[in-house]
Amino acid sequence: MILNGVAIEDTFAEAFPMRATRLVVTAPDLRWARTAAAAMTGFATSVIACGCEAGIERELTADETPDGRPGVAVLLFGMSDKDVAKQIQARVGQCVLTCTGTACFSGLDGDSRFPLGNALRYFGDGFQLSKRIGRRRYWRIPVMDGEFLIEDTGGITGGVGGGNFLILATSGDAARRAAEAAVEAMRLLPNIVLPFPGGIVRSGSKVGSKYKGLIASTNDAFCPTLRGQSGRSALPPEVESVLEIVIDGLAEADVAAATAAGVRAACALGREAGIVAISAGNYGGQLGPYHFHLRKVLA
């Protein structure tokens, strides 16, 4: 398959089940909502070392939020309900509760619930108050600029983590331009986040290492500088730079749609812009049950 002169390799991305939640962070203006959301999703690129994977899903207008203020939707993914709850408690407590003017709400119902305000209300030291509106309960926690309003519980649902594709290019600049175009297109879609910095990964990994105890190491098959050393290079001779985009989504269809949008945006620059091929990372189908075959997704 050739797309605008760019070869689409006959391979697939391999992804795995995760648990996910969406939070809505609001503030008097979008600047402070985004500040809190950016802080709480920091250091959340991979469950391998960060405990979770998270990112900003989209900005929300005042008529889309529970309290009628500007907001930001955040998605956070973990390997279990317990992991999600632990990360949310720490990140909301340290990054949203502390951020001036903010409030925090559950952004999905899910198939189970976890403590949100119920876990953080104790910061009020006995001065906190609860309020029930319809079927939902909220906590009003006194803070020095007024009150921090937070929903009692949050919802958790199934998710898909580890969707990906690789951009193979003739130079670092060409790879970055294509990756930036892909990220811009993908971020227009709902229900997904790109957890790595700027949505782009330079340090793609493989499972395992020659060093004992290291569970992941550099993906030498896609490292141009190791083409003549590793003996397992998967790169055409003209490729000098590879960048990866990792996708987490609430459903298999969300990851597939984002993959298609990103690949098409990257390929739109064309072969003349230095984009040689699109590939994907997998582990022979042994890591996860979700297989995103590039040609099938694009078709």
pLDDT score, position 274 = 98
* 207 has a pLDDT exceeding 90: no
pLDDT score, position 44 = 98
pLDDT score, position 102 = 98
Assess contact for 157 and 111: CB atoms under 8 A.
Answer: yes
**pLDDT tens, 125-173?**
999 999 999 899 999 999 999 999 999 999 999 999 999 999 999 999 9
Report the chain's mean pLDDT, rounded to a whole number.
96
pLDDT score, position 124 = 98
The domains of the chain are located at 2-14+159-298, 18-157
- Summarize the confidence of residues 190-211 as an average pLDDT: 95
pLDDT score, position 231 = 80
What's the CATH fold of domain 18-157?
Answer: Alpha-Beta Plaits (3.30.70)
Q: What CATH class is the domain 2-14+159-298?
A: alpha beta
- Summarize the confidence of residues 14-28 as an average pLDDT: 98
- Summarize the confidence of residues 274-279 as an average pLDDT: 98
pLDDT score, position 232 = 87
**pLDDT tens, 70-120?**
999 999 999 999 999 999 999 999 999 999 999 999 999 999 999 999 999
pTM: 0.95
- Summarize the confidence of residues 2-22 as an average pLDDT: 97
pLDDT score, position 236 = 94
* 103 conformational bin, left if phi > 0, alpha if psi -120 to 50, beta if neither: beta
